[in-house]
Amino acid sequence: MTNPVAISLNVNGERVEAHVLPRLNLADFLRDHLKLTGTHVGCEHGVCGACTVRVNGDIVRSCLVLAIQAHEANIETIEGLSDSGEISDLQAAFRERNALQCGFCTPGMLMTAQDLLKQSPSPDRDAIREHLSGNYCRCTGYQAIVDAIETTARMRVEGRP
């Protein structure tokens, strides 16, 4: 299992073919091979949430997934969600509320927040905090992030842009 393995996957709507070592994790594959550096690596043991990406629609810790496990999968990263406009309202709310300082946790936070809002259109603050409980932010103290997600949820429900 030390020779490169051919994988084929879809990343942000683009077909990607690659040969990767079996031990390579998805976070390193996205960052080092595809240069999609918006997926951040904070702990490499599945605690901090900075490397959160979507695999076939579900959010996962890309440091805990091997690249070869993503064979034939549909991967979406922060770059993809940004370019598609899917989370532009959430990003605007984060900007207006200053729900980021250093920005290192932000891509993972946005991924997780969007995941919550897709599952639950009107979460209360406790539910937001609970859903974010696997995403570490050292800068903000979380309140601004909770505010921004709450605002986005309300505006989506009210059908405002």
Partner 1 sequence: MTGADSTPAALSALDRPNSYIGKTVPRPNLDRLLQGRGLYVSDIELPRMAHVAFVRSPHAHAKIIRIDSSAARPMPGVIAIVSGDELSKVITPWVGVLSHLKGLKSASQSAIAIDRVCWQGEAVAAVVAATRAQAEDAAEHVVVEYEMLEAVTDMRTALDPATPIIHASLGDNLAFERNHDAGGVDQAFADADEVIEAEFVFGRHTGVTLEPRAVVADWNTAERRLTIYQGTQAPHMVQNIAALHLGLTEAQVRVVCKDVGGSFGIKVHIYADEMATYALAVLLRRPIKFVADRIESFNTDIHARDHRCKGKIGVKCDGSITAFEIDDLTGIGPYSMYPRTSAIEANQVVNLVGGPYVTRNYRARARVVFQNKNVMCQYRAVGHPIACSVTEGLVDLAAARIAMDPIEIRRRNLIADDAYPCGSPSGLRFEKLSHHAALAKLVSMMNYDALRAEQAALRTKNIYRGIGIASFIEVTNPSAAFYGVGGAKISSQDGVAVRLDPQGSVICQTSITEQGQGSEALSAQIVASVLGVSMDRVRVILGDTDNTPYGGGTWASRGAGIGGEAALQAAKVLRRNILEVAAAILQSAPEQLDIVDNEVVNANDRSPRMALSELGRIVYFRPDTLPPDIQPELMATRHFVPRDYPFAFTNGVQASWLEVDIDTGFVKLLKHWVVEDCGTIINPQLVDEQIRGGVVQGLGAALFEKCVYDERGQLTNANMADYLIPMACEMPDIDVGHVISPTKETELGAKGAGEAGTAGAAAAVANAVNDALRPFETIITEIPLTPQIILSALRRI
Tokens of 119: 């599952």
Q: Is 100 an interacting residue with respect to partner 1 (CB under 8 A)?
A: yes
Say whether 83 sits in a helix, a strand or coil: helix
Nearer to partner 1, 16 or 47 (CB): 47
Which residues have C-beta within 8 Å of that of residue 16, sequence separation ≥ 6?
8, 9, 10, 34
As a whole number of angstroms, the distance between CA 51 and CA 71 comes to 18
Q: Of 7-15, 64-72, 77-85, 152-160, which part binds partner 1 (CB under 8 A)?
A: 77-85
Distance CA(34)–CA(31), nearest Å, equals 6
107 binds partner 1 (CB under 8 A): yes
Mark the segment that binds partner 1 (CB under 8 A) among 10-18, 78-86, 115-123, 151-159. 78-86
What's the closest the beta carbon of residue 61 comes to partner 1, in angstroms?
Answer: 12
- The amino acid at residue 73 is A
Applying CB under 8 A, the residues found at the interface with partner 1 are 21, 23, 31, 36-45, 47-48, 50, 77-79, 82, 91, 94-98, 100-107, 110, 125-126, 128-130, 132-146
